[in-house]
Amino acid sequence: MSAKQTDQTGRVVNEFLGSAEIFTSAVSDLLEDELEALSEKKVTFSQMKLLKMVSIAEDYTVSNVAQFLGVSTAAASRAVDRLVRRGLVRRTEAAADRRVVQLSLTADGAELLERYDASAQRALHQVFGALPPEQLKQASEFLDRLSVSIVEQHDSERAVCFRCGIHFRDRCLLRKVRRDQCFFHARGRETKGTERAD
Amino acid sequence: MSAKQTDQTGRVVNEFLGSAEIFTSAVSDLLEDELEALSEKKVTFSQMKLLKMVSIAEDYTVSNVAQFLGVSTAAASRAVDRLVRRGLVRRTEAAADRRVVQLSLTADGAELLERYDASAQRALHQVFGALPPEQLKQASEFLDRLSVSIVEQHDSERAVCFRCGIHFRDRCLLRKVRRDQCFFHARGRETKGTERAD
DNA sequence: GAAGATTGATTGTTCAATCTTG
DNA sequence: CAAGATTGAACAATCAATCTTC
């Protein structure tokens, strides 16, 4: 629109952001299709994220789900409720603090997640398998640098959590810049991967 | 979870997807904050996309909005309605075909969009301005190649539209692989940018 | 009858209020 | 009275049905 936007640098930046947006949405579409192909009964992508998260540890709570999924606790509570009703997730009162509800997968939930993971990995391998890992690593690092720089400059007072542990990533970027704001770090928990210090 | 996921290649792919997801969500957060800082009255990011799209041409319709935003026509119709009620968008019956409703910005809408664009560009320049354009171009091309490869391999029968013209991008990736499925191409319309043939 | 836009019913989201436990 | 989880009211998204125009 403005003169700035047609300016050379601005245009390149916008093209790049467009590429990134298109890419992530293409990946989402791909994975959602895998999900549909799997279709037990309608399971949504966000619900699968929830299952994945719950599978990581035995003591995750509704609040944790909200942080991870980036939704309100009200929404998280209802999302959990839906999965409980479908017999995929189990609620347990925490012994230590009876206010909190601990979540775990049922056998059905674990089995569904297992099958989804397998088919998702297969689909991703089909697309990315032929690429040289170094190229992917290089791209990861470039994007990570930018993300960190956004958080550092942006620096809004609000607590940001990248929810790195969910879905794709074992390490949390925020550990590098906000050790106190990363959910995983706050819990002092490592996920399944090996954490490489920066 | 499975053995495959802990495998070296799979891990690199997952880290990369995590980086991409984190990056796009960081950018979204950044821009949403610009939007809030601008706050006339609550305007959502998606509504701003709608304004931006309408600003591109004078004869966009409700169906076009739905395609662009990737939502149902019902949702698009209601989204338009909200903006009309706020005095940001105008509805006009098309002379040629009285079934269709043509959309345009009001003076208020144009002014709001202008201000948002300016502040967004400023914020983006702050983050990306120092980067060498070649690096951004290279990253764009890498992501684009992957996106195209996903669409090609995935190839689901459903009509995909990347909605490239919205928001960031002037060119549509899909022109390269699906000339008939790209909304912009289907309309034979170029947006504001110069279209560089591949 | 088909296509574009809108409306009704259902579902899922948020914010605010509530309830229980610490 | 603070913190975790849940529920009520309002709003937004979908699918299906409807209404108008081609």
Express each pLDDT in B9-41 by its tens digit: 888 998 899 899 889 888 888 888 888 888 667
Percent of chain A with pLDDT over 90: 44
Predicted local confidence at residue B66, as pLDDT: 92
Chain-wide mean pLDDT for chain A?
Answer: 82
Residues in reach of strand C, judged by a CB distance below 7 angstroms, are A 46, 71-72, 74-75, 78-79, 82, 97-99; B 61-64, 73-74, 77-78, 80-81, 91, 99-101
Whether residue B189 is predicted with pLDDT greater than 50 in this model: the reply is: no
What pLDDT is attached to residue A193?
A: 38
A89 phi and psi angles, rounded to 5 deg: -130, 150
pLDDT digits (tens, 9 = 90+) for A84-138: 999 999 999 898 899 999 999 999 999 999 999 999 999 999 999 899 999 999 9
Tell me what pLDDT residue B145 has: 92
For the residues A59-73, what does the mean pLDDT come to? 91
Q: What is the mean pLDDT of residues A175-184?
A: 64
Residues A1-22: what's their mean pLDDT? 76
pLDDT attached to residue A182 = 64
Q: Residue A192: pLDDT band by 50, 70, 90 thresholds?
A: very low
Cβ-based contacts of B4 with chain A (< 8 Å): 118, 121, 125
Q: What average pLDDT does the segment A63-68 reach?
A: 90
Confidence of residue A48 (pLDDT cuts 50, 70, 90): very high
Contact yes or no for B168 and A15 at CB 8 A: yes
Provide CB contacts within 8 A for B174, sequence distance 6+.
B151, B160, B161, B162, B164, B181, B182, B185
Model pLDDT for residues B91-135, shown as the tens digit of each residue = 999 999 999 999 999 999 999 999 999 999 999 999 999 999 999
Please indicate if any CB of chain B lies within 8 Å of the CB of A146.
yes
What is the structure's pLDDT at B89? 96
Confidence at residue A65, expressed as pLDDT on a 0 to 100 scale: 93
At A37 the pLDDT is: 82
In this predicted structure, what is the pLDDT of residue A40?
66
Which residue, B23, B136, B16, is CA-closest to A134? Answer: B16
Q: How big is the A-B interface in CB pairs under 8 Å?
A: 225
CA-to-CA distance for A79 and A68, rounded, in angstroms?
A: 13
CA B41 – C1' C20 distance (Å)?
Answer: 37
User: Which one of A35-44, A156-165, B76-85, B123-132 scores highest in mean pLDDT?
Assistant: B76-85
Report the pLDDT value the prediction gives residue B196, as an integer from 0 to 100: 37
Kindly state the average pLDDT of the residues B44-48. Answer: 91
Name every chain A residue with its beta carbon within 8 A of the beta carbon of B156: 33
Instruction: Please enumerate in sequence order all residues whose Cβ is within 8 A of that of A175, keeping only pairs 6 or more positions apart, or say none.
Output: A182, A184, A185, A198
A155, burial (CB in 10 Å: exposed 0-12, middle 13-18, buried 19+) = exposed
Mean pLDDT is lowest, of A160-174, B152-166, B175-189, for: B175-189
Strand partners, A90: A104
> What's the CA gap between B65 and B127, in Å, rounded?
30
| Neighbour-count burial for B127-150, b at 16+ CB within 10 Å, e otherwise | bbeebeeeebeebbebbbebbbbb
Question: Residue B1: its pLDDT value, please?
Answer: 45
Identify the pLDDT of residue A64. 92
Which two three-digit tokens encode residue A102? Answer: 């601990």
Question: CA–CA separation, A86 vs A113, rounded Å?
Answer: 14
> What's the CA–C1' distance between A64 and D2, in Å?
18
When mean pLDDT is compared across A11-15, A43-47, A63-67, A162-166, the lowest value belongs to A162-166
Contacts of A124 in chain B (CB under 8 A): 10, 13-14, 17
Query: Which carries the bigger pLDDT value, residue B108 or residue B167?
Result: B108
Establish if B46 touches chain A: CB-CB under 8 angstroms. Answer: no
A150, pLDDT greater than 50:
yes
